[in-house]
Structure 1
Amino acid sequence: MKKPEAIIFDMDGTLFKTETLLVPAYHRLFDRLRAEGLYTDETPPVERILGSLGMLLEEIWKRVMPDASEEARRRADELLLEEEERGLKSGGSELYPNVVETLQALRAHGVKLFVASNGPAPYVEGVARAHGIADYFEELYSAGGRKTASKVDLVRILLDEHQIKSAWMVGDRSSDIEAGAENGLGIIGCAYAGFGANEELEGSHVLIQHFEELAQLYETSEEKQAG
């Protein structure tokens, strides 16, 4: 792959070790749903939501609680955000190893860095702020903030608004691979999160097992084409 002008990152399972925040928040939200009388069953297996990361929230709740009412799903949306915000304030959530150092190295090379996530804007911005990485990015794009129906559209908007001509898409789910492919980007699949099946990363140009491999990948990639 050619050296890119910009690198676009997914958030969950790419930069952020999502389960460190999501699992406790997930259990708390179902306790609250039951207390409010909106849900009477046992908490669905947490693997359902971990396996749904990368989807839009509406689709996630259909998969996690297929028999629940629309009211319960909408409330679950609200409660998850509340509980995740609470979790970020109390600490304990984690980025993947060497994320900060790698972002610093890429910025030192003059690469423009962005986030493109299917999550809600307060969540994406909250994670970036809580872990001290917000300032490394030119802008944080979220499906919730831009009201996009797919990550393909979200990335297209990002590229147009910042007039980016060459970029890499870095992520761990099929939505990231699709967004890179449909927008003609270099695609780097993150194989370390383990939320999705291996076939989700089919179509990646490169697979990485550790986040810090990105810096070396950039340094050893071919120079940009003239013009």
Structure 2
Amino acid sequence: MQTGPRKPSQPEAMLFDLDGTLFQTETLLLPAYHAAFGQLREEGLYNGPTPPEERILGSLGMLLEHIWQRVLPEAPPAVHRRLDELLLQRQLEGLEQGVGNLYGGVADTLRTLHARGIRLFIASNGLEEYVKQVPRATGIAEYFEGFYSAGEYRTRSKVDLVRLLLDRHHISSAWMVGDRSSDVEAGRRNGLTVVGCDYAGFRSDGELDGDDIRITQFAQLLDHLA
């Protein structure tokens, strides 16, 4: 993380990771995770215990195929694909029921950024329907110009997803805001200012190294605008 008196100028756009940055993922994910494994056992596709929650939480930010390789490495690809379906289904059901919370200050901060004319986007390695439904269900969708997901665009990394977003919207100045090393890499390799979010508790030591700005509450984002 760079330090010093320089305050970055206001960017044309801000790109946000979703899980662990805007959305308190565990409030929706963990009930869905246990329910998905329960159904997997009912279907006879898996007979063991549900893997520890720490495995799924520590995998957030990865592509889904890499998440299941970490969470359930012994299972065949067909089981991983079924877990994709079950987890998405359970999470969407939860969102419809009002399950899941934003981090404190997210809605007000996004409203302020939008009012200042900054273009806002989500860039996530998640599935398309999930990445679009979370903002709708939590009441923040109106502030965003676009929702970009690896699930929709079939990108192999967040670097590629962010590059696609920047090119499509002709953005020349932007900040990448996120909580994982994939966000830092995506910002760095696309020439963006990187804001590291250090409040979700999912990251490993050193994972945000290379960021330009570090925040411990979402609303602190406003303090770093010129």
Cα displacement string for residues 68-124 of structure 1 (whole angstroms, at most 9, x for unaligned residues):
122211100100000000110111310000101000111111100000000011000
Q: Report the counterpart of residue 196 of structure 2 in structure 1.
A: 189
Cα displacement string for residues 165-213 of structure 1 (whole angstroms, at most 9, x for unaligned residues):
1000000000000000000000000000011113110000010000000
Gaps (5+ residues) in structure 2? Answer: 1-7
Scaled by the length of structure 1, the TM-score of the pair is 0.95
Please, which of 99, 110, 118 is the counterpart of residue 106 of structure 2? 99
Scaled by the length of structure 2, the TM-score of the pair is 0.96
The 5-angstrom pairing of residues 212-223 of structure 1 reads 212-218=219-225, 221=226
Partner Cα separation in structure 1 for residue 126 and residue 187 of structure 2: 18
Q: Does 1:23 align with 2:39?
A: no
How many matched pairs? Answer: 219
The 5-angstrom pairing of residues 50-61 of structure 1 reads 50-61=57-68
Task: Give the C-alpha shift of residue 2 in structure 1.
Answer: 2.5
Please, which of 138, 144, 148 is the counterpart of residue 145 of structure 2? 138
Cα displacement string for residues 132-188 of structure 1 (whole angstroms, at most 9, x for unaligned residues):
111100101001011100000000011101100100000000000000000000000
Please, which of 74, 81, 86 is the counterpart of residue 79 of structure 1? 86
Secondary structure, counterpart of 1:100 in structure 2: helix
Partner Cα separation in structure 2 for residue 46 and residue 21 of structure 1: 13
Secondary structure, counterpart of 2:120 in structure 1: strand
Gaps (5+ residues) in structure 1? Answer: 222-227
Partner Cα separation in structure 2 for residue 192 and residue 139 of structure 1: 25
Q: CA RMSD in A?
A: 0.7
Partner Cα separation in structure 2 for residue 124 and residue 95 of structure 1: 14
